[in-house]
Structure 1
Amino acid sequence: MVAGPADATAEGAAHGRRRKLAAILSADAVGFSRQMHEDEAGTHLRLRSSREIIDRLVVEHDGRVVGSAGDSVLADFPSVVEALRCAVDIQQVLRRQNAAFPPEQRLEFRVGINLGDVIVDGADIYGDGVNIAARLQQLCEPGGILVSQTVHNHVRGKLDFAFEPLGRHRFKNIPEPVATFRVCLNGSGAPSPKRPKHPLPHARPVRITAALLLLLALAGAGLWFPGRALLGGRHEERVAPAGPGIIAKPVIAVLPFANQSGDPSQEYLSDGITEDLIAALGRFSSLRVVGRGTTFTYKGKAADPARIERELGARYVVEGSVRRADQRIRISVQLTDTRDGLLLWSERYEENLADVFTVQDAIIQRLVGTLAVRVTRAEQGRALTKPPGDLAAYDYVLRGHEQLARRTRSGNAEAREFFRKAIELDPTYAIAHVGLGRAYFDAALFGWTEWPAKALQSAREFAEKAVLLDDEEAGGHVLLSWSHEFEHRFDLAKAEIDRAVELNPGDPEVRAQRGSIYLASGDIDGAIREFETVLSFDPIHDPVWADLGVAYYLDGRPQDALGILERNLGRRPDRVMAWAVLAAASAELGHTVQAQDAAARVLKLNPFFAADDLAALYAQPDQRQRLVAGLQRAGLP
């Protein structure tokens, strides 16, 4: 017999289950596992003291603790106003308590609050209302409070707190995106300084006079919108000292480029390049860029690296000059380490001017990609020299990427450990989640795990988590794109990678992945364009050399393929695919001995190599047939 509504109600009551509307508070300690590992007894005492404070304040605000596991707390309240008051009191009292401890011993809590319908089962509560509170807590910064739209609507005008809107976020297993607000706790009623940046709408100037008028108008209004069509732009950021819970990323200062044209009317060009470079570097979440308003105070002044480090806290400084003569433009640039004054890199770009803005965008794109690569390598070198006890989450991520680049089973396992340690130090660090997902993806791809399907699932989950934590971090979209490409779902892969390119067009990894998707889906022209762009940023980007060789071969350019693959294999002689395509290109050009030697290397590296397996990586039948024919002509099965 099927139970009717009355029967169902009676059955639920008999088992102690009922529904109610409640304000749910979810709290969790940041870095608890790390502190327990370093000082178990002391951390336990600090946690117990924090829990006593939290439990007492929950009761004082008419709430009840309905769940706790180690360093986490779940409580519900009949009043959403009291739930928020309780959360604010918790953070203020814990902040005073933490002031007595050094930063590495402070237990800071993240708090999320939601108002929703829940199932009450004895002493426990369940439902989407609880899940959303927990997801908000996971997004929150240490020592902060995040609330949902429903909470904000109910308390607005009733409490003397300011709220900062953070946009809508998609949470796992929650069908609709949730509008999120941060409670400002700096005591001023205004939002505290915050790192995330948002696009600024602006129109691209199409004429030089329009650009000058726009610059003058915005300067007069005290405004400036960095970037143009290619770069999109975000709010620039003034660099502040890193506090507890903030990733200590390297700071880079771009000083105003000097106008060496001998014509003051060309000043707009050197200023525009500086502006665009600041905006483009600001798209890299691994960097912190000194804002335009600060660096332009150095315009026309001599500033040595030591002074830049002392006054701006910058680890790297970028300087340059712009010279325009008739229809040619020359840009010189250099990157310097401010701590020792060492010149890390310098380059000169010279172009013919057809459309000044098109040329400027192209140069900026190459320039920013190269700078990001150089700074990352310098930072990896620093991280490798640090003793383990001094490593922060950022350092662990750098070490993890260095191990990933080795492309070995042991390096992959070590990379995973580094990324896990970074996440343990800061669970909201999106880049660390991307790194761990990338490690799982590589483990499945290269056969370094007994459970490849499980590894691929983990890679996707970490990618989704990264996007959830920070939708503007391009790496999460790149990893999702890899997952879709691996499953030959090219439309989804393209959508994710296009989003990543939109976020950061100057990132070599982003452009390399778009080239990979173009190559696999059959857009050979697009693949070549993307791969050549990456090599203009980073000439020793090893994976791209092999992919570009394949693209040249499939485009009917065996001689170009041969040249680039020979250079790639000179550095990385373990690349099976590179040797295979080298064999095919050599055979097509009539270089029989070279083709046979390359085929022998393929079979030595992979005795189970099959031409059809390699060709299956590419979607277009005619390209698969061309590749198989070339491989078989070289003597490969």
Structure 2
Amino acid sequence: MRYLFDQYVFDTDRRELHRGPDAVPVAPQVFDILDYLIRNRERVVSKDDLMNAIWKGRIVSEAALTTRMNAARTAVGDCGEAQRLIKTIPRKGFRFVGAVREARTPNPLAAVHHQPETRTAALPLPDKPSIAVLPFVSLSSDPEQEYFADGIVEEITMALSRFRWLFVIARNSSFAYKGRVVDVKQVGRELGVRYVLEGSVRKAENRIRIAGQLIDAETGAHLWADRFDGSIEDMFDLQDNLTASVVGAIAPKLQREEIKRARRKPIESLDAHDHYLRGLAKIRWSNNANTEALQLFCKAIELDPRLACAYGMAAWCYVRRKANGWINNPVKEIAEATRLARKAVELGTDDPFALSVGGYALAFIAHEFDDAAAFVDRALAGNPNFAQAWSTSAWLRVWRGEPDLALEHSAYAMRLSPLDPPMYYNSQGAMAYAHFLASRYDAAASCAENALRSHTNFLLLTCISAASNTRAGRLERAQRSVLQALERNPDLHANLRNLAPFRRADDYANFEKALCEAGLSERHDAATP
């Protein structure tokens, strides 16, 4: 049976919905709801009717029912405000009120549907990394699981679209491949993308497992694969958690792949974004590498004066110069860093990366802590799956004297990106400082040691290790850390304020005193003429 209404053809035999010549992707359970409402359009359908017909009497929450009904309305171009086709009758139920014609003749779209596939001309790639999230395969006949799989894909697609440096194919285009065996190279050509994310969903008892893999659509090479498990007790929380895990894992991988591409390009063909990516690749804990990175970011700005992220990273280079005592002309360089940071947040009002990096630079260099917090909070609101913004926020909370928030944001950063080494030692470092501020010195020393195993030359980590061990009564260990810090920065005592810009005077005084008790002042005095 085919039902014709508005601009739609609803085919119950083929289980397809078309709007004009275009197929509309519909999750199986949403299709069943539409089918039931249309078949029973002469009466009001109660919630109990839907429960019995669609869920076979299983208990379903009000939120779940509302979500499915909203999806049904969306599929047919309706909404809860307009209710042109599906009307809610308060305290009674729902009714399909659109004018419907029934047709039993063969679907005129069927001939088009069964035409042999023709190879579509390849679309040009965008000027930034591009990705399509294909429908995940449900490894079960349970319609609820397939609906959940479709929801995961939709959430991942929306979450990825919040990364301003990514070009993400819309869900409706990706879902044209639902139920088809696809060649990712062909998908890449047809959608004009460089990367494809595909996956599957499997249910076992009260657990659900999501498996995903990221593929280079040009070569077919697998770049990343992982699986994520969760309890099915609250499917919507599980969906959010799995989305955050998948996005947090693949976003850093995508950026690393793009950096590799930029480094392989001949210098004469580099555009602004390529210079920016090469600058990211140069970021290291040495003065020379930091200077090279700054030059590349400045070149990116020259080629594209509105590239907010390049301003942010140029400011970040000055953050490192200040933190490591590499600044030659403090007044001039701090003014330039502040200018770059302000330009980053001004141009990047909707760019979470520019907001978080530029905002942090304003705090660390210019001590504009309140403005910095506002910009970083805006970055987190714009992209709550951006692990680097959470880590940056954690350090900002340390300098503002908010240890509980610093711990919370550090833990979330590591949860979003658990396999990224820089994310680990940066977040562990922020946690060490947060525990120090809260007078939990054993915990602070433990976090610092964990981070130092991954990054032995991180001066901030060496200092907090020394200060924490001093306060925990392990003076000999603290003294060894101070000696290591002085080897890297003989003028450490003179530069300590630049290294650790605590907003609260008491926080800085405790930090400085602990380091001096471990030998910092004596070493500095001995090295001073």
Name the TM-score, length of structure 2 as normaliser: 0.71
Distance 2:500 2:295 in 1: 33
SS in 2 for 1:346: strand
Query: Per-residue deviation at 1:624?
Result: 4.3
Please tell me the residue identity of whatever aligns with 1:274. V
- SS of 2:210 mapped into structure 1: strand
Deviations 1:180-210 (A, max 9, x none): xxxxxxxxxxxxxxxxxxxxxxxxx971111
Alpha-carbon distance, 1:575 to partner:
2.0
Q: Structure 2: where are the runs of 5+ without partners?
A: 1-60, 81-121, 522-529
Instruction: Give me the whole-angstrom Cα distance separating, in 2, the residues matched to 1:555 and 1:333.
Output: 40
Asked if 1:322 is matched to 2:201, the reply is yes
1-side partners of 2:205 and 2:473: how far apart?
A: 48
Amino acid at match of 2:207: R
Among residues 482, 487, 490, which one is paired with 1:604 in the alignment?
487
Relative to its length, the structure with more helix (as a share) is 2
Q: Is the 8 A contact 1:580 1:598 kept in 2?
A: yes
Quote the residue 1:451 is aligned against: 329
Indicate if the aligned counterparts of 2:460 and 2:499 stay in contact, CA closer than 8 A. Answer: no
Range 411-420 or range 494-503, more displaced: 411-420
Give 3-state SS (helix, strand or coil) of 2:229's partner: strand
- Which residue of 2 is the match for residue 211 of structure 1? 67
Summarize deviations over 1:226-246 as a string: whole Å, max 9, x none: xxxxxxxxxxxxx9636xxxx
Q: Which residue of 1 aligns with 2:133?
A: 254
1:566-581 correspondence runs (5 A): 566-581=449-464
In 1: Cα distance, 2:123 partner to 2:310 partner: 22
Letter in 2 for 1:540: P
Letter in 2 for 1:433: Y
Shift of 1:261: 4.7
Question: Which residues of 2 match residues 409-448 of structure 1 at below 5 A?
Answer: 409-448=287-326
> Match of 1:475?
353
- What is the identity, as a one-letter code, of the residue corresponding to 1:438? W
1:497 Cα deviation after fit: 0.9
Q: Aligned equivalents of 1:300 and 1:399: distance in 2?
A: 40
1:552 to 417, 435, 438: 435
State the match for 2:478 in structure 1.
Answer: 595
**Residues 251, 206 of structure 1: alpha-carbon distance in 2 compared, 3 angstrom cutoff:** farther
C-alpha displacement of 1:547: 1.9
Q: 1:527 to 1:578 in 2, by over 3 A?
A: same
Q: 1:249 deviation in Å?
A: 0.5
In structure 1, the gaps of 5 or more residues are 1-204, 225-238
Q: State the shift of 1:621 in Å.
A: 5.5
Match of 1:540 in 2: 421
Task: Write the distance in 1 (CA, Å) between the matches of 2:320 and 2:473.
Answer: 36
Paired residues of 1:583 and 1:598 also in contact (CA < 8 A): yes
Question: Structure 1 residues 633, 366: CA separation in 2 closer, same or farther (over 3 Å shift)?
Answer: farther
Q: 1:592 to 1:364 in 2, by over 3 A?
A: same
Report the Cα offset of residue 580 of structure 1.
Answer: 2.1
1:380 corresponds in structure 2 to 259
User: Matches of residues 113-192 of structure 1 in structure 2 within 5 Å?
Assistant: none
TM-score, normalised on structure 1?
0.59
CA contact (8 A) 2:341 2:362 kept: no
Structure 2 contact 145–201 (Cα < 8 Å) conserved: no
2:515 counterpart letter in structure 1? L
Compared with structure 1, are the counterparts of its residues 310 and 259 closer, same or farther at alpha carbon in structure 2 (3 Å cutoff)?
same
- Equivalent residue letter for 1:331: I
Distance 1:206 1:388 in 2: 58
* Equivalent residue number for residue 465 of structure 1: 343
1:251-286 Cα shifts (integer Å, max 9, x gaps): 111111222354112322111111111111111111
SS of equivalent to 2:377? helix
Secondary structure of the residue aligned to 1:207 is helix
Distance 2:435 2:226 in 1: 28
1:351 counterpart SS class: strand
Q: Which residue of 2 aligns with 1:348?
A: 227
Distance 2:468 2:160 in 1: 39
CA distance in 1, matches of 2:398, 2:207: 34
How many residues are matched?
A: 414
Deviation at 1:346, TM superposition (A): 1.7
Do structure 1's residue 561 and structure 2's residue 444 form an aligned pair?
yes
Residue of structure 1 in register with 2:12 after alignment? none
Distance across 1 between alignment mates of 2:289 and 2:350: 29
Give the Cα–Cα distance (whole angstroms) in 1 for the partners of residues 455 and 166 of structure 2. 30
Q: Secondary structure at the match of 1:317?
A: strand
Distance 1:484 1:220 in 2: 48
The one-letter code sitting in structure 1 at the alignment partner of 2:285 is R
198, 208, 221: which is aligned to 2:77? 221
The answer to whether the aligner puts 1:364 opposite 2:243 as a matched pair is yes
